[in-house]
A and B are shown apart, each in its own frame.
Chain A
Amino acid sequence: MVKVTINGIEVEAKDGSSILDAARLAAVHIPTLCKHPDVDPSAGCGLCIVKVGGRIMRSCCTPVSDGMQIVTEDEELQQIRKTVLKLILSNHPNDCLNCSRSGSCELQDMTAQMGIDQNEIIKMLSQEPKDDTTKAIVLDPSKCIVCGRCVNICQNVQNVWALSYLNRGFVTKVTGANDTKLGDSPCIKCGQCAAHCPVGAITDYDNTDKVFELLANKDYITVVQIAPAVRVALGEEFGFDFGSNLTGKIYAALRRLGFSKVFDTNFGADLTIIEEASEFVKRFTQNDHLPMFTSCCPAWVDYLEKYYPENIPNLSSCKSPHEMVGAMAKTYWAEKAGVDSSKVKVVSVMPCTAKKWEISRDETMSSSGYQDVDEVITTRELAKMIKRAGIDFKNLKEEEADNPLGEYSGAATIFGVTGGVMTAALRTAYFYITGEELGAFNFEAIEGLEAVKVAEIDIKGTKVRIAVVNGVGNVEPVMEQINQAILNGLELPYHFVEVMACPGGCIAGGGQPRVMGQRFEKPWGINDEIRKLRSCGLNCEDACAQNRLSHKNESIQKLYENYLGKPGDEKAHHLLHTKYTKRALYK
C-alpha cells in the first residue's frame, strides 16, 4: 500500500493501482471516455488528466507512488478537458435525439457535466456507412469516437480479433481487417463491443419494429419467451436495483404488449439439460469424443467453428434452450392448442446479440418445418418496447407464465450465470448415473467469476473432471491442454467443459442494459460488481426454488411421455439437436 494525497485528502491505495482508481477511494471521480474496468488503460481519450506535483499526466495509466501529491480539478485542467471534449465532439454528429444511446451515453453525460453548451470548433464528420452485415450488431463509424474500448475487448479480452484500427491519425477508423465488413470477419456476434461502447457507435441490430408488426398482425399467434438472464437485468431500465428478479412483472408486460402466450426459455433450459445430460452420460460411458463441450452459447459455437473446427465433434449436439422452445412451440404446443404451426410466430427476448444470428445459422434451426424462432430482441430492446407501449412497468402486478412451456426448475434459471449449465447438468447426470438425487445441489469450485474453474466430481466412485470457462478469450489454454492430450493419447484433463462467451455468462451478455443506477452513477454498462449482483439474482431464485432439478420438471416429464419419447430418440433428435460446420475466419 502507498499513501497519496488527492485534492488534499490522504488515501491509501494498492501498489501499482492507477491514479484514476485511487481517486475513487477518496470519492473523487476523474472523467474518462476510454478507460473501463474490464480493459487495460490505453491513454486514448485524454480526458483523465490530473496534475502530479504540478505536471499534467493521464491518470488512467499513471500508477500511484508513495507521497504523490495529486490535483484532479483546477481551472487549467478543466479548460484542457473542455478543449479535448470539444475536439471529440467536433467529429461526432449532434444526433442525440435519434440515437438509441440517448440517456445512457457517456459522451452525452460528460458534455452536460462539463457544461459545454456550444462548440466553436468546426464539425468534421465521417461519411462512412453503417455496417449491419452481422444482422446482430450495428457499427456506425460516424458516431465512433475511437476510444478503443471495443477493439481492446474484441482483441485482448475476447481474443476474437474481428475489430481493429485501420489507418491512423484523423482518418483512423474501427473496422475489420482491411476494412472487411463484420459479417465477413471472425466476429462471433457476442456483442461485448456493444456492451462496452461509451456512445451509440455499436448497438443492437434493432428488431423492435418487426416484433411490433408481428403483434399487430392478427393472422398470427405470436408467442414469446424470456431467457434466464433477462429477468435479473431488465429492471435496471426502470429504476430497479441491479439483480432484482422481476420475472412476474416481465410476464405481465409481455402480455400487455399483446403476445398470445408467454413462455419461458427456462423451460427450454430444463429440456436442454435432459438432452444434454443424457448425451453426456452416453458419451462418457462410451468414451465417445470427450471432452464434451456445452453448446448453448451461440457465440462460443461460432468461435469453435471458426477457431477450433477440429473440435466440432466435441460439441454437444443439443440446440440452445430458446431454439428448443421455438421448436416445441411450433410442434408440440401448436398440436396441443390445435393451431396451425405456420401461424405461430416465436419471439425470443435474450441478453445476447449472437442469438439474432443463431436463429438462421443452418437448416436445423427450422426443424418444425418453419424457422423455429422468428425474431430475437435483446433485453435492451424489450425495455424500449415496454416504454414505447406506454406500460408502467414499475407498477405492474406479477403474473404467471403460460403452460406447458412455462414451468421451470431452479436448475434452469442458473443457465444465465457462468457455471450454471454445468451445475444443472451434473444434478441430472448424477441422477441418471446413480438413480439417486444429489445431497448438495451446488459445486462451490465452479461458482464465481474466475475465468477458468475446474473440479473433479465424485459420482459414487466415478470421477468426472469438469472445467467451466467464462469469457471466450480464456478458452485458448484450456483448448491447448485438451488438444495436446487428445493428440498424444494422454489421459484427458476434462470430460465435460462449459464455455460461455461473455465474461460472467449471459447475465453480462452483449444485449443487457447499460444504464446508470443508484449504485453506479456513470453509465459504464457492465463491471464485476454488476455481474455479481445479477448472478446473485439468479442463484437466489435457484436456492429458493421448490424444484431444483430439471428432470423433476413435470411439464418436461409430460412432454417426453406424450410427445418426444425418450431423450435422444428420433423425434427428440430431429427437433432438439443440431449440427456444426467449419467456418472460415474471412469470407
Chain B
Amino acid sequence: MSEETSQACQVADKWRKKRGSLIMALHEIQGIKGYVEFKDAMDLSERMNIPLARIYEVLTFYNFFKLVAPGKAVISVCTGTACYLKGNDKVLDKFKSELKIKEGESTADGLFHLQCVRCVGCCGLAPVCVVNGKTYGRMTPEQVPAILDEWREAFKEN
C-alpha cells in the first residue's frame, strides 16, 4: 500500500497525538512539497481523525496555504507600506502582464508563481521582490523581463 508511506501519512503520524496540531501538520506538508493537495488532506483527515471539512476550513482561511502546485520560481512582490509607496504596485502589474496571470496563480508551463507578501524585512531596498530566496532591490517595472529571463535560463540549465 503506497498510502502507508505517503509523506502526508508520515506527517500525520508524527502530529496525531498532539491536540490542535493541524496547522503544524499542514505547514510541514507544504514545506516538503510546496502545496497541500486533496490527497494529502484526505490522508491527514483519516490519520489524524479530523473531518476533511475542518481541514479545508483551515487551508482556505490562511492564504499562506497553497492547494495547487506553485510554479518552480516563486515570485514574491512585497506590498508592505514602504515597497508599495515606492511603486511596487507597478512592478506587480508588470509581472502580471508579462506572465499573463493574477497574483496567487501559476503559469501554465509551471515555471512561475506570483504572490504578494507583506514586508520581507529590508525596507531600505524598497521596492523589493524575492524570487526563490534571491532578493531584488530598488525594483522598476523595466527590470521585470530581465528577471524572468534569468530564471528561465536557470531552469533550462538544470
Contacts and interface: CB of A to CB of B under 8 A. Distances in A.
Interface of A: 155, 161-168, 176-178, 185-186, 585-586
A83 B47 CA distance: 45
B12 interface: no
Given A166-B60, A168-B60, A168-B61, A161 B54 contact: yes
Given A166-B57, A185-B53, A186-B51, 4 more contacts: A155-B53, A161-B54, A164-B54, A166-B56
A585 B53 CA distance: 11
Nearest to A169: B61
Please classify the interface of chain B as helix (H, G, I), strand (E, B), loop, or mixed, using the class held by over half of its residues: helix
A177 B55 contact: yes
Interface in B32-74: 38, 41-42, 51-57, 60-61, 67
A178 B57 contact: no
Contacts of B53: 155, 161-164, 176-177, 185-186
Contacts of A166: 56-57, 60
Interface in B57-116: 57, 60-61, 67
Contacts of A164: 51, 53-54, 56-57
B42 A155 contact: no
A155 B50 CA distance: 12
A158 B124 CA distance: 54
Interface residues of B, number: 13
Contacts of B61: 165, 167-168
A166 B54 CA distance: 10
B54 A178 contact: no
A161 B56 contact: no
Q: Which 9 A-B pairs have the closest CB atoms?
A: A164-B53, A161-B51, A177-B52, A177-B56, A177-B53, A161-B53, A167-B60, A178-B56, A168-B61
B57 A161 contact: no
Which of A155, A178, A185, A586 has most B Cβ within 10 Å?
A178
6 contacts: A161-B54, A165-B61, A168-B61, A178-B38, A178-B67, A586-B42
A132 to B, nearest CB: 20
Contacts of B57: 164-166
A165 B51 CA distance: 13
A175 to B, nearest CB: 9
Contacts of B67: 178
A178 B52 CA distance: 8
Nearest to A159: B51
B56 to A, nearest CB: 4
Which of B38, B60, B61 has most A Cβ within 10 Å?
B60
Nearest to B62: A168
A173 B138 CA distance: 39
A162 B53 CA distance: 7
A178 B60 CA distance: 8
Which of B53, B57, B67 has most A Cβ within 10 Å?
B53
B27 to A, nearest CB: 18
A185 B42 CA distance: 13
A586 B56 CA distance: 14
Nearest to B46: A585
B109 to A, nearest CB: 25
